Amino acid sequence: MNQSLLSVGVFLAVLVCLPFAVKWFKARSQVEMGQVGGQSRLISAIAVGPQQRVITVEVGPHGSRVWLTLGVSSHAITCLHTAHVEKNRPT
């Protein structure tokens, strides 16, 4: 009887701690993802057809940013041009 009560108690304790563990894990994984990729920024977007656009985005970690010019359609995304951004450029 005592063994089954202990098992039930441990099971309930795990169930109570589960939401807190999930919340902690989500917060931890978001911090790690933010450190790896940095933030991307949309520079421009031009529609060239009903479902086609040419967009320019700035990506990469601070200090070595890259501008990508992308052709975007409903079927594919194609890199058209890559330009490295100077470190001391005016904003």
Q: Tell whether 4 and 47 lie within a shared domain.
A: no
pLDDT averaged per 10 residues, the chain (length 91): 87 90 80 57 92 92 88 94 75 52
How far is the C-alpha of 84 from the C-alpha of 75, rounded, in Å? Answer: 27
Q: Tell whether 61 and 74 lie within a shared domain.
A: yes
Q: Tell whether 59 and 85 lie within a shared domain.
A: yes
Cβ 42 vs Cβ 57: under 8 Å: yes
Phi, psi values for residue 73, rounded to 5° = -130, 180
Q: Tell whether 44 and 75 lie within a shared domain.
A: yes
Q: Tell whether 63 and 87 lie within a shared domain.
A: yes
For residue 70, which of 59, 61, 62, 60 has the smallest C-alpha distance?
59
Q: Tell whether 6 and 28 lie within a shared domain.
A: yes
Radius of gyration of the chain (CA): 24
In single-letter form, the type of residue at position 51 comes to Q
pLDDT at 88: 57
35 by DSSP, 3-state: which? helix
pLDDT at 31: 56
pLDDT at 64: 84
pLDDT at 28: 76
Residue 86: give the domain boundaries. Answer: 38-91
pLDDT at 86: 74
Domain count, the chain: 2
Q: Tell whether 31 and 18 lie within a shared domain.
A: yes
